Amino acid sequence: MPDVTQSYRANALKAIPLCFLTLAPLSGCKSPLDASPASELRSSIAQTVRRELSADFADPPPPTSLSRGTSSIDFKPSRLEELNAMGGPGAYAHSPLHPGLDLLGRPTSTVSMPLEDAITAAVRHNLLIEGASFGPAISRADVDAANAVFDWVLFADAGWNINDAPFVGTPFSANVRKDQSVTGAAGLRKDLTTGGTASISNRLTYVDDTRAGFPATPDPSNRTDLVARIDHPLLRGAGRTTTLAEVRLAENAEQAQVQELRRTLIDRVTETERTYWNLIAARRAIQIRQKLIERGVDVRDVLKARLQFDVRPAEYSDAVARVESRRADVIRALNDYRKTSDSLKALMNAPELPVGGETLITPIGEPPDQPVTFSLYDALASALQHRPEIEQAILGIEDREIRLEVAENARLPRLDFAAQASLAGLDESVGDAYGQIGDRSFVSYFLGLQFEQPIGNRPANAAFTRARLTRMQALTDYRRVVQDVFLQLKGALRDLETNYTLIEQTRTARLAAAENLRTLLVQKQTIQSLTPDFLDLELRRQESLANAELEEIRALADYNIALADFNAAMGLTLDRRGIAITPPDADALLPGSIPIKPAEPVEDQ
């Protein structure tokens, strides 16, 4: 059994500086109309952590180790070995289990499995984990789509026009228009990350004028135009903060999905551990109750043999009822065992162990009871750093901050700038027309400004107010998440202490019950007359020992469940199990190919 003594002392972890470092990118942007200092956001979050930690951790105490009282009963080693052979974890190491027939009416088949294999199978095949693993890849596609807005766009158009229409003429020209033209254009356009749009295009126009009495020069003609243009906002909509807002939000959404995948992994791994320890307890319960039946049958048979002497039928019937009640308990325990095995198979979702199959999982090993070393202060600081919920809450704050920056920019007046430069050429041949462009024979320029400001600016002001309120709401949500995480962590730690203490208490109770039964069995061998009252006492002491054994195995299972919950509350489940999340690849992400790397568990130090 590996040593599970653990130390959760973090390396120079300080909760408040940690929060500052985590939230360092959240710097507000100043607006010409209204500004919120960048320190306001960080100060509000740091104040939340101070309020939770500073009261009792002005001078953080050193780590402490779990402890429990010593047994109030002192047995010699030989006697202790005898009592442990009568009941307790070591008494059933080689005890067979008789699960009976499965739902198909066949003898139940079993498969042995250690905890590490169960966790590895759950990480690889669990359906909730598989579903959550698509989230980062989907969000990555959204990030690519948001960045694609700034890609170059190739555009082109073409047209052919034939005119044969009357119009108002003059004494010197006919009143009929006859011509044909062919136009074509191609170019590139790009949205700039600073908020503007840049484009470059070339247009070619061919015109053949067939009107009589109205000669045109040149005819036919080819005109070329090469145009470069930029449109850019100077106030509203200007700057990377605004134009890259959707990209930043998409990147935050991707990170939130990664944290959601981590959260799902932690939950499923913890649930797998919990189910595994419950499976051990359920299996041990069957063995304890089967042993109780064997002991009860021995007493019942003695009473049956003495029916003709000093045992009344009612006393014998009472013994029969007790034995049958114990059989009923075994049936219920077998049902619990099968259900727990199916629950573990559902968590694992292993192809070789489908939920629809009737193979029964046999857990390997005994629940360890070594103490752990912990520091509440460091555990809280670790939760602040590693819990996915806190990371998601921080991303939520940053999302609100981005939207606030956009809303703040939207309050500015609209002042757009436009600039254009064009080169033109006109000649009978296309080559000569382009030659004029090369010679820069015809060059035109354009500069323009456009201003707009809503009177009162109420829509933008209302959106800004809403954005500020939602950011304040996000800060409140963060404080609530921190409080919930701390509450869960302290509850897990209290369960850890309680169940560790209960191990010793239940073990002492089990040894005392075993001693009571052993003393009675020794007395049974020395007395000549086994009265019904004596045998009834033996039945009661058998049950007392069985109940004490059940309490002990339950305390051992609950202690290891509490240890798994404590790791989960600190956000260290994946680290301690050596589970790494690799970057998602949307092209390779198919059902059954989860972007998670199960590794050998890290031995506790």
**What is the torsional sign of CA 332, 338, 341, 347?**
negative
> Does residue 6 sit within a domain?
no
Residues 495 and 350 in one domain: yes
Within-domain flag for 61: no
| Residue 52 banded pLDDT, cuts 50, 70, 90 | low
Per-residue pLDDT reduced to its tens digit, 1-33: 344 334 433 333 333 333 333 333 333 333 333
Average pLDDT over residues 440-444: 91
Q: Indicate whether 23 belongs to any domain.
A: yes
Rounded Cα–Cα distance for residues 282 and 336 (Å): 7
The pLDDT value recorded for residue 94 is: 77
Asked whether residue 188 falls in the same domain as residue 125, the answer is no
Per the domain annotation, does 553 fall within a domain?
yes
Residue 594 has pLDDT above 60, yes or no: no
User: What average pLDDT does range 258-265 have in this prediction?
Assistant: 94
Higher pLDDT, 377 or 545: 545
**pLDDT tens digits, one per residue of 124-164:** 999 998 888 889 989 999 999 999 999 999 999 999 998 87
Indicate if 50 and 108 belong to the same structural domain.
yes
Q: Are residues 276 and 372 in the same domain?
A: yes
User: Do the Cβ atoms of 400 and 470 come closer than 8 Å?
Assistant: yes
- In this structure, what CATH number is given to the domain that contains residue 320? 1.20.1600.10
Domain count, the chain: 2
Is the domain of 309 the same as that of 249? yes
CA dist 568 and 291 (Å) reads: 37
Tokens 């669990």 -> residue? 126
CA 26 – CA 249 distance, rounded (Å): 13
Q: Is 605 domain-assigned?
A: no
Give residue-wise pLDDT tens across range 390-436.
999 999 999 999 999 999 999 999 999 999 999 999 988 899 889 98
Range of the domain at 167: 153-243+413-459
- Label residue 546 exposed, middle or buried (CB < 10 Å: 0-12, 13-18, 19+): buried
Position 525 scores a pLDDT of 84
Report pLDDT for 604: 41
Are 480 and 390 found together in one domain?
Answer: yes
- pLDDT on residue 168: 58
276 in the same domain as 341: yes
One-letter amino acid for residue 125 of the chain: H
Same domain, 424 and 335: no
Indicate if 81 and 128 belong to the same structural domain. yes
In a domain, 68, yes or no: no
Q: Which residues of 384-398 are buried (b: 16+ CB within 10 A; e: fewer)?
A: bbbbbbbbbbbbbbb
Q: Are residues 24 and 84 both part of a single domain?
A: yes
Same domain? 165 vs 190: yes
- The mean pLDDT value of the chain amounts to 84
pLDDT at residue 251, as a whole number: 94
CB within 8 Å of 583: residues ≥ 6 apart:
136, 595
445-481 pLDDT, tens per residue?
999 999 999 999 999 999 999 999 999 999 999 989 9
Residues 445, 545 within the same domain: no
Burial class (CB in 10 A: 0-12, 13-18, 19+), 487: exposed
What separation in angstroms does the CA of 255 have from each of 243, 260, 389? 20, 9, 12
Alpha helix (H) residue ranges in 349-375: none
pLDDT surpasses 60 at 176: yes
Sheet architecture: strand order including 197-209: 153-166, 176-191, 197-209, 221-233, 414-427, 442-452
4 within some domain: no
Which sign does the torsion angle of CA 484, 489, 492, 494 carry? Answer: negative
Look at the block and give the residue holding tokens 């003059």. 170
Residue 493's alpha-carbon distances to 384, 483, 489, in angstroms, are: 16, 15, 6
Q: Is residue 505 part of a domain?
A: yes
